[in-house]
Structure 1
Amino acid sequence: MNIDGKQAAADLRAELAVEVATMQAERNITPGLTVVLVGEDPASQVYVRNKVKQTRDIGMISNEIKLADSTTEEELLMTLASLNNDASVHGILVQLPLPKHINEQKIIATIAPEKDVDGFHAMNSGRLLNGESDALVPCTPQGCVILAKRHLGDDLSGKHAVIIGRSNIVGKPVSILFLQENCTVTIAHSRTQDLPAICRQADILVAAVGRPEFVKADWVKAGATVIDVGINRIERDGKNKLVGDVDFADVQDKCSGITPVPGGVGPMTIACLLKNTVAAAKNYG
């Protein structure tokens, strides 16, 4: 069966809308998110539009700062310093990727940790590792765990979660989140020996490698839950198509549940961004 990320995201947004209304009524605080977009990357522009719309739909304040591709690193740093000092801004998101002349790590490190709703700042990574409740957790990993629970129930204790990919954005943080759910966790990567055999051990298989239709049916244990993080554009039958890191057609009959691409993890990523912004406003507003 498909694990419906669109419906899960809609349910989470509905919960957040109630929280926002409560904060407005009880504390006179409206969570505010500012998204900074540098350059004219078409995919980034689509992502930002979706984030801005969904933020406003649940009653939050959403601002967008568009900067030219020629913007210098120093100019971007000054913009972030201003947002860090603006009490009406509870969440700051710099849309990645940035132009090549700008150091992404330096930019991420400049965002105030309490406003880092992407959850990429080293301070939030450390808080996540330490299990601190006020950590702002990267959005895609949060979404992966929510979707796994939606299919399997809230208690994931004892499940074996295998993560393919060790990035700071998905692989590492999602492994920590599954550990916090009392799963046994294996992180697999490009140097892993006999990767298909490792994947066949998984009760929960998370694919986050950026390789289209990489995971095949013979990599998946019968009845496993498959969370596909990949978003890859390929050409098929003369048309551009969006596919995941899992060969959906090959795998869907082998597993008990799988997230489709599109319509799986993607919608949850934006919903969890809103969740982080509400949390930031609660904790630091």
Structure 2
Amino acid sequence: MAVTDTRSGIHHVTAIAGPARRNLDFYTRVLGLRLVKRTVNFDDPGTWHLYFGDEAGSPGSILTFFPWQHAAAGRAGVGETQETRLRVPEDAIGWWLHRLLAQGVPHDAPVRLFGETVLAFRDPDGMRLALVGLPGIGAEPAWATAEVPAEVAIRGLAGVTLLLERAEATAAILTDVLGFAETGREGSVLRLGAPGTTLGGIIDLRAVGGFLPHRFGAGSVHHVAFRAADDAAQAAMVRRLAEEHGLGTTEQKNRDYFRSVYFREPGGVLFEIATDAPGFAVDEPAADLGGALKLPAFLEGRRAAIEGALPALD
């Protein structure tokens, strides 16, 4: 009998943005991420779906966005991803503080959380982000740009913070189904880690009973996707969700670069389970990632109309 691969951690985080060109400029020029795929929202092909990450678009490095030109601002609240954190070398925090100042990016003073230096800031749509300074990661491969040199560059996702009414039921899903384990507590925050995972290995659960519920809009995280090595691993997670927690998922959806199922966890946050395969080089060479509009086969016949409707990026 085959042994199912149990690798875990975040695969990607998907959020809602405002104007597409502004979103592209911020994440590629200001933050120095690579645009690894330009495609469309498969359910709304008049909308871009932009993927940013490391050189290869590795699972755990990926931020994706649905940019809607006139999207109203979201409202922070219970049942959402409060903050998405990015990994940088510990000694790069000072460089990033100066860069955020120079680029006019709203930010907080650095603080220490769980023994790490955290520099929180917001993107142009108000999405809550943070850079986490980590020791010993300076030698990891990094995507460099003209403005963000390799020695200070972002090295994938650190993790996310979920804002919840109560943390216990969500923690049970993360530990029993998605491969995380409790690693610490600090104030109202419960920290869970994915053992052996470098990128996207941390989930913080912040319990804040009595807060207003969130409202989706520009600056809101739409969903958090978790890794499954393959279809078998994903199917095992789906079975465990149903049998042990009474939670159903959608049918599997082919997103071309991964295959996905979705469910809403007990705290109200939309979760996805996404396969690692086939990855972003399935329809263009790795050296050319993000260079051209890629469409799923079922939309290829509408390419001319779709290209005419999408807002200009360049």
Would the TM-score normalized by the shorter structure come out above 0.5? no
The structure carrying a bigger strand percent of its residues is 2
Q: Which has the higher helix share?
A: 1
TM-score for both structures, normalised by structure 1: 0.30
TM normalised by structure 2 equals 0.28
